[in-house]
């Protein structure tokens, strides 16, 4: 926002003006609920789809972690196709859930198609530990039959 203030010195054409810049007033950050939506969809008795939409970062990773807690079926597909940003905190939640699934003899897979999400999964080598698919229907077809 700019404000014009008359300069104290005058010229023959009238008072001179200068522009004063005020620092922008910081806006409050949206709540975690507004930054990330997480939905648990029970596909069948052996498959749970956890769909996330928004940004997964340090502020919102807890919401994803909460959705991946408790008693889970034989297979879990984490659908990140609507996620525009995945931070390291979110990646740690995904890796932790997959490690827990392995110890409990369950499967976990990820669906992602946005460049920022795929890039982070690739940089940390997560796609070598957890199957990553570009489409949800492909992930569901690959779920082992129990």
Please indicate, yes or no, if residue 18 is contained in any of the structural domains.
Answer: no
Backbone angles phi, psi at 128, to 5 degrees: -80, -20
pTM score, two decimals?
Answer: 0.75
Percent of the chain with pLDDT over 70: 76
pLDDT digits (tens, 9 = 90+) for 36-89: 999 999 999 999 999 999 999 999 999 999 999 988 999 999 999 999 999 999
Mean pLDDT across 96-123: 94
Q: What is the distance of C-alpha 35 from the center of its chain? A: 8
Residues 6+ away with beta carbon under 8 Å from 114? 80, 81, 83, 84
Could you tell me the pLDDT band of residue 31, with boundaries at 50, 70 and 90?
Answer: low
DSSP single-letter state for residue 27: P
DSSP per residue over 72-101, as a string?
--SEEEEEEEEEEEE-HHHHHHHHHHHHHH
Please indicate, yes or no, if residue 92 is contained in any of the structural domains.
Answer: yes
Please indicate, yes or no, if residue 101 is contained in any of the structural domains.
Answer: yes
Please report, for the domain that includes residue 76, its CATH number.
3.30.750.24
Residue 143 confidence (pLDDT) = 80
Residues of the domain holding 109: 32-142
Please indicate, yes or no, if residue 127 is contained in any of the structural domains.
Answer: yes
Please indicate, yes or no, if residue 7 is contained in any of the structural domains.
Answer: no
Percent of the chain with pLDDT over 90: 69
């Amino acid at each position: 926002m700019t404000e014009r203030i008359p300069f104290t010195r005058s010229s023959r054409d009238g008072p001179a003006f200068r522009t004063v810049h005020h620092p922008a007033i910081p806006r409050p950050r949206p709540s975690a609920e507004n930054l990330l939506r997480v939905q648990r969809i029970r596909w069948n008795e052996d498959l749970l789809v956890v769909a996330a939409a928004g940004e997964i970062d340090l502020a919102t990773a807890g919401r994803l972690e909460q959705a991946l807690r408790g008693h889970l079926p034989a297979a879990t597909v984490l659908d990140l196709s609507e996620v525009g940003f995945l931070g390291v905190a979110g990646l740690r939640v995904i890796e932790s859930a997959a490690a827990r699934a392995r110890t409990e003899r369950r499967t976990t897979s990820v669906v992602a198609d946005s460049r920022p999400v795929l890039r982070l999964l690739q940089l940390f080598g997560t796609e070598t530990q957890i199957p990553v698919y570009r489409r949800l229907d492909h992930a569901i077809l690959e779920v082992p039959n129990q």
